[in-house]
């Protein structure tokens, strides 16, 4: 079984694309029964998206103050979207369809999934693994 996370690579997005992503997530989460108590709240995300949209609309003159306001609001919106992506990933429990229903793109979880016996033995605090695998790759020549 494959596990998925919500994609959080918003840093290379322009301010307009961050705004479009935020509006898509807001629209998808409104009334979504799978995500009843999002963190951060939807009202906070709506307010932040409105601030970013106002900054973009008011920056027609392209002066340095307008650009710095856009940059600050973009960073704040990215931070909120990243928190929301973490919430969606945890709540969806690796389900790709649930993550897509929240408006996020997915990335495959690359971490190691613990096998069954290891999960049972983790509950015992005195558990010590009896063996482990040590591997390396030998490089000959340069």
What are the tens digits of pLDDT across the range 104-128?
Answer: 998 887 665 544 444 444 455 555 5
pLDDT band at 129 (very low <50, low <70, confident <90, very high): low
Cut 0.75: pTM above it: no
What does residue 5 show for φ and ψ, rounded to 5 degrees? -120, 160
What value does the mean pLDDT take over residues 37-42? 88
Number of H helices, E strands in the chain: 5, 2
Where do the domains of the chain lie? 4-112
């Amino acid at each position: 079984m494959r596990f998925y996370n919500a994609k959080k690579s918003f840093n290379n997005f322009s301010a307009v694309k961050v705004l479009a992503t935020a509006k898509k997530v807001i629209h998808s989460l409104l009334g979504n029964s799978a995500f009843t108590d999002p963190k951060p709240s939807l009202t906070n995300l709506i307010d932040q998206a409105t601030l970013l949209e106002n900054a973009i609309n008011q920056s027609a003159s392209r002066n340095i103050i307008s650009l710095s306001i856009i940059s600050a609001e973009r960073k704040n919106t990215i931070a909120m979207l990243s928190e929301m992506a973490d919430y969606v990933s945890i709540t969806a429990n690796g389900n790709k369809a649930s993550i897509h229903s929240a408006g996020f793109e997915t990335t495959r979880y690359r971490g190691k999934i613990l096998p069954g016996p290891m999960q049972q033995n983790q509950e015992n605090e005195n558990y010590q693994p009896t063996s482990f695998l040590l591997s390396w790759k030998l490089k000959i020549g340069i």
